[in-house]
Amino acid sequence: MVFNFNRLSGGSLPPTVCLSAWLVLGLTEDETFIAIAVSNIQQLLITGATGGVGQLAVAYALKQGYQVRASTRNIAKARPLFDDRVELKQIDLRQPDTLTPSLDGIDAVLCCSGTTAFPSDKWQVDLPSQPFEQLLTWSRIFLDADYRQRHTKNSPAIADDQGVKNLIAAAKNSSVSRFVMVSSLGIDRKDQFPFNLLNAYGVLDAKQAAEQALRDSELTYTIVRPGRLIDGPYTSYDLNTLLKASTDGKQGIVLGRGDQLLGQTSRKDVAAACVECLQNATTEKTTFEIINQGERPVNIAWPKLFTEMAQAG
Ligand SMILES: NC(=O)c1ccc[n+]([C@@H]2O[C@H](COP(=O)([O-])OP(=O)(O)OC[C@H]3O[C@@H](n4cnc5c(N)ncnc54)[C@H](OP(=O)(O)O)[C@@H]3O)[C@@H](O)[C@H]2O)c1
């Protein structure tokens, strides 16, 4: 980890003082350059902050000395998660008008929000009151694409595609200088097993469209693509959640580019990667995959992981 004196001091230290601090600590010229170059990032907006990755990203960011604005559609639900350690902001990515004021003073966005890959109540389905009619509705949601589009309010096309595009558009007209987005493995292999199954209801199409919008924006971005999420908090509806699948904290981290990795990813490592990106210039304008594999070292050396990934091309 590279300490960021400017952030820890609340942004009050001039670069020359920071530079002296790096020199006293014996950091290399490159590390000094990277640290100073990104040292003005202090205030983060984390979307999906109540979700599995989001909660861990909030915790990791606070531990690193960032100030966090945590986004949720339901402040009452979110408040017990964070005590008073974050500024809670009611944000719905489907409502573009609410986004610009929410980004006021924000230096970096970590976009950890999303809906489920397969139809679930997180898609906000218009349901009739009678149980039998509800069953029919769910059947049609699964089987009939037109019906699904008309009767769901938070599908991947809405939350992961249009919602994230709304956030990108608002960020472009704000103080935001850095945008980190959690996407998914398999975007470039949507037609191959198992990603063709995962994309049956368009989640990879939606993530791909949002990724492209981010690359096309003038924002300095990083796109983080995890495999199937493992370890708690178990917030999504899938087999790993049912099984409470866990790495037991024993697996190492593998980063890759070009969408060639296959595997699962601990939520805590996705969260850490998102925050660590902010202090590492090699991740700027970069898309990378992250999975857990092999033996875990005692300490995770993020700068080394990022440098090796960049060198591998
Ligand atoms: N599950 C997997 O295996 C997997 C694999 C690869 C990538 N991913 C991606 O990894 C990310 C994190 O996954 P996770 O399991 O940690 O997510 P999660 O627990 O399902 O949390 C997602 C959060 O998104 C927020 N959200 C949903 N719709 C929203 C909207 N319209 N506007 C604003 N916020 C909205 C919700 O917050 P509020 O309800 O508080 O508003 C929710 O807490 C997601 O982008 C997901 O697509 C997941």
Residue 116 alpha carbon, nearest atom of ligand 1: 20
CA distance 56 to 266: 11
Q: Which one, of 66, 69, 76, 67, lies nearest residue 49 by Cα?
A: 69
CATH no. of 41-119+155-312: 3.40.50.720
Instruction: Please tell me the predicted confidence (pLDDT) of residue 115.
Output: 98
Note if the bond before 233 is cis, omega within 30 degrees: yes
Neighbours of 144 (CB within 10 A): 12
- Taking the whole predicted model, whether its pTM rises above 0.95 is answered as no
Residue type at position 19: L
Q: Does 52 sit in the ligand 1 pocket, CB within 6 Å?
A: yes
Residue type at position 194: P
Instruction: Please tell me the predicted confidence (pLDDT) of residue 111.
Output: 98
Query: How is 42-97 classified by DSSP, letter by letter?
Result: -EEEEETTTSHHHHHHHHHHHHTT-EEEEEES-HHHHHHHHTTSSEEEE--TT-HH
Residue 53 alpha carbon, nearest atom of ligand 1: 16
Q: Where are the domains of the chain?
A: 41-119+155-312, 123-153
Q: Does 51 sit in the ligand 1 pocket, CB within 6 Å?
A: yes
CA of residue 246 to ligand 1 center, whole Å? 19
Instruction: Please tell me the predicted confidence (pLDDT) of residue 36.
Output: 39
Instruction: Please tell me the predicted confidence (pLDDT) of residue 237.
Output: 65
C-alpha dist (Å) from residue 208 to 42, 152, 170, 173, 184: 29, 20, 19, 22, 9
Neighbours of 48 (CB within 10 A): 25
CA distance 271 to 44: 13
CA distance 177 to 285: 12
Contact 222, 302 (CB under 8 A): no
- Give the residue ranges of the chain where pLDDT is below 50: 1-6, 8-37
Instruction: Please tell me the predicted confidence (pLDDT) of residue 25.
Output: 42
CA distance 73 to 66: 22
Instruction: Please tell me the predicted confidence (pLDDT) of residue 240.
Output: 65
Q: Does 95 sit in the ligand 1 pocket, CB within 6 Å?
A: no
Instruction: Please tell me the predicted confidence (pLDDT) of residue 24.
Output: 40
CA of residue 160 to ligand 1 center, whole Å? 9
Q: In this structure, which residue's CA is closest to atom 20 in ligand 1? A: 236
Residue 228 alpha carbon, nearest atom of ligand 1: 3
Residue 235 alpha carbon, nearest atom of ligand 1: 19
> What are residue 254's DSSP bridge partners?
291
Q: Does 186 sit in the ligand 1 pocket, CB within 6 Å?
A: no
CA distance 127 to 152: 9
pLDDT digits (tens, 9 = 90+) for 69-80: 999 999 999 999
